[in-house]
Amino acid sequence: MIVELPALKSKDFLSILDLNPEALEQALELAAVFKSERVKGRPHAHVLEGQHVALLFEKPSLRTHSAFTIAVRELGGDVIEPASDVAFSGRESASDVARNLERWVPIVVVRTFEQARLERFAVSSSRMRVINALTDEEHPCQALADMQALIERWGSVKGRTMTYVGDGNNVAASLAQASVMLGMHVRLATPEGFELNAGLAESVTRVVRFGATFTQGHDPVAAVKGADAVYTDAWASMGQEADAERRAGIFRPFQVNAALMVAAGKDALFMHCLPAHRGLEVTDEVIDSPASIVFDQSENRLHTQKALLAMMSAR
Ligand code: CP
């Protein structure tokens, strides 16, 4: 398979904000090419031939980990997976871990806790490229797959309205950044105290294009009215499990159920990054309905991550 590979400007992909709008659009175009080639039985490209990519995961993952593993292999490379208790456990400094890894691999994919920790790790190496596979604050790989799923449905997302209902978490932050960068209006409906923090909210408004808007409020019914897509995520993210029962009480009015989808309108799509907690943030009726594109989002994790790796490998 021969494709023109656009290179990324920034060394690392720690945030959607590391992409300028052109790079975001190029990544999505390349992901569409990879998807179509794979459907035709041509999944292989050779941009990582003979190279390894390190996967460092401090938290569980089905989609991100599987998709990166397949993506690296279909690009001709292989993965190494140092155990999380040797990478970030304090056995040695994160900086020394990075300075070892850069001698072996051109790219490392990291799922960890604080974004600041990932940023410190990334600056420890001037040549090894670092991909954010989820931090407590941002989940940019998820947002790429989400944008691809919407473009597949609508052609262009410009002028559409995305409503996110639930916790103003890492998924919401990256989703909002990518959406407004492509010209989508974004409405967040969260319980009071669970909005995007001020820094992340400001980061979203900074990358707005094509007259897109970004608003935060606390009324899910008002927020979904006329929305083209309704998105939700877990009420208790990884690391918040001990607080899940208390949070379930607070978030109950924010459940995406049939009544909320009716309030959105008959053409509204339903989205979720998965894993879903059926009966909590979403009902079976909604996630299993024809409006649901959750498994398209999941599939596209592969194609978008493949595009990202290919762009990061381009010289
Ligand atoms: N959506 C997502 O990141 O899934 P995993 O946690 O399974 O990787």
Q: Please indicate, yes or no, if residue 216 is contained in any of the structural domains.
A: yes
Instruction: Report whether 110 contacts 121 (CB < 8 A).
Output: yes
- Look at the pTM and tell me if it is higher than 0.85: yes
Centre of ligand 1 to C-alpha 133, Å, is 9
Instruction: Say if residue 168's pLDDT is above 90.
Output: yes
Q: Please indicate, yes or no, if residue 219 is contained in any of the structural domains.
A: yes
How far, in Å, CA of 212 to CA of 198, rounded? 19
**DSSP conformation letters of 183-237:** T-EEEEE--TT-SPPHHHHHHHHHT--TT--EEEES-HHHHHTT-SEEEE--SS-
Q: Please indicate, yes or no, if residue 98 is contained in any of the structural domains.
A: yes
Enumerate residues lining ligand 1, CB below 6 A: 61-65, 134, 142, 273-274
- Count of positions (residues) in the chain: 315
Task: Please report how many Cα atoms fall inside a 13 Å half-sphere around the Cα of residue 52, on the Cβ side.
Answer: 12
- The model's confidence at residue 4, banded by pLDDT at 50, 70 and 90, is low
Residues 51-71 have pLDDT tens digits of 999 999 999 999 999 999 999
Q: Please indicate, yes or no, if residue 166 is contained in any of the structural domains.
A: yes
How far, in Å, CA of 2 to CA of 254, rounded? 46
Q: Please indicate, yes or no, if residue 8 is contained in any of the structural domains.
A: no
Q: What is the mean pLDDT of residues 105-122?
A: 96
pLDDT of residue 84: 81
Please indicate, yes or no, whether residues 190 and 285 belong to a single structural domain of this protein: yes
Centre of ligand 1 to C-alpha 236, Å, is 14
Instruction: Say if residue 266's pLDDT is above 60.
Output: yes
How far, in Å, CA of 54 to CA of 59, rounded? 15
How far, in Å, CA of 136 to CA of 283, rounded? 25
Centre of ligand 1 to C-alpha 210, Å, is 30
Please indicate, yes or no, whether residues 122 and 160 belong to a single structural domain of this protein: no
Please indicate, yes or no, whether residues 41 and 82 belong to a single structural domain of this protein: yes
**Other CB atoms within 10 A of residue 52 CB:** 17
Q: Please indicate, yes or no, if residue 262 is contained in any of the structural domains.
A: yes
Instruction: Say if residue 2's pLDDT is above 60.
Output: no
pLDDT of residue 189: 98
**Largest alpha-carbon pair distance within the chain?**
55
Instruction: Say if residue 289's pLDDT is above 70.
Output: yes
Please indicate, yes or no, whether residues 291 and 302 belong to a single structural domain of this protein: no
Task: State the closest ligand 1 atom to the C-alpha of 273, by its place in the atom list counted from 1.
Answer: 1
Please indicate, yes or no, whether residues 172 and 290 belong to a single structural domain of this protein: yes
Q: Among 114, 87, 41, 30, which Cα is nearest to 309's?
A: 30
Domain range for 94 is 16-138+298-313
- CA-nearest residue, atom 4 of ligand 1: 63
How far, in Å, CA of 261 to CA of 39, rounded? 32
Please indicate, yes or no, whether residues 222 and 111 belong to a single structural domain of this protein: no
Please indicate, yes or no, whether residues 147 and 288 belong to a single structural domain of this protein: yes
How far, in Å, CA of 295 to CA of 271, rounded? 9
Instruction: Say if residue 91's pLDDT is above 70.
Output: yes
Q: Among 307, 305, 297, 312, which Cα is nearest to 148's?
A: 297
Geometric angle at alpha carbon 76, from 12 and 295, rounded to 5°: 70
- The model's confidence at residue 1, banded by pLDDT at 50, 70 and 90, is low
Task: State the closest ligand 1 atom to the C-alpha of 134, by its place in the atom list counted from 1.
Answer: 3
Centre of ligand 1 to C-alpha 222, Å, is 29
Instruction: Report whether 165 contacts 256 (CB < 8 A).
Output: yes
Please indicate, yes or no, whether residues 95 and 229 belong to a single structural domain of this protein: no
Residues 202-224 have pLDDT tens digits of 999 999 999 999 999 999 999 99
- Identify the residue with better confidence: 252 or 89: 252
How far, in Å, CA of 96 to CA of 298, rounded? 34
Mean pLDDT of the chain: 95
For 77-88, give one letter per residue: b (16+ CB within 10 A) or e: bebeebeeeebb
- CA-nearest residue, atom 1 of ligand 1: 273
Task: State the closest ligand 1 atom to the C-alpha of 141, by its place in the atom list counted from 1.
Answer: 3
Q: Please indicate, yes or no, if residue 255 is contained in any of the structural domains.
A: yes
Please indicate, yes or no, whether residues 122 and 70 belong to a single structural domain of this protein: yes
Choosing from 61, 66, 237 the residue with most ligand 1 atoms within 8 A of its CB, the one to mutate for a pocket test is 61
Task: State the closest ligand 1 atom to the C-alpha of 66, by its place in the atom list counted from 1.
Answer: 8
Q: How many domains does the chain have?
A: 2
Q: What is the mean pLDDT of residues 18-47?
A: 94
Instruction: Say if residue 308's pLDDT is above 70.
Output: yes
Q: What is the mean pLDDT of residues 146-154?
A: 98
Strand partners, 217: 189
Centre of ligand 1 to C-alpha 128, Å, is 24
Q: Please indicate, yes or no, if residue 100 is contained in any of the structural domains.
A: yes
Please indicate, yes or no, whether residues 183 and 74 belong to a single structural domain of this protein: no
Please indicate, yes or no, whether residues 126 and 251 belong to a single structural domain of this protein: no
Task: State the closest ligand 1 atom to the C-alpha of 67, by its place in the atom list counted from 1.
Answer: 8
How far, in Å, CA of 256 to CA of 283, rounded? 7
Choosing from 134, 146, 233, 296 the residue with most ligand 1 atoms within 8 A of its CB, the one to mutate for a pocket test is 134
Geometric angle at alpha carbon 202, from 246 and 240, rounded to 5°: 20
pLDDT of residue 299: 98
CATH number at residue 287: 3.40.50.1370
Please indicate, yes or no, whether residues 290 and 146 belong to a single structural domain of this protein: yes
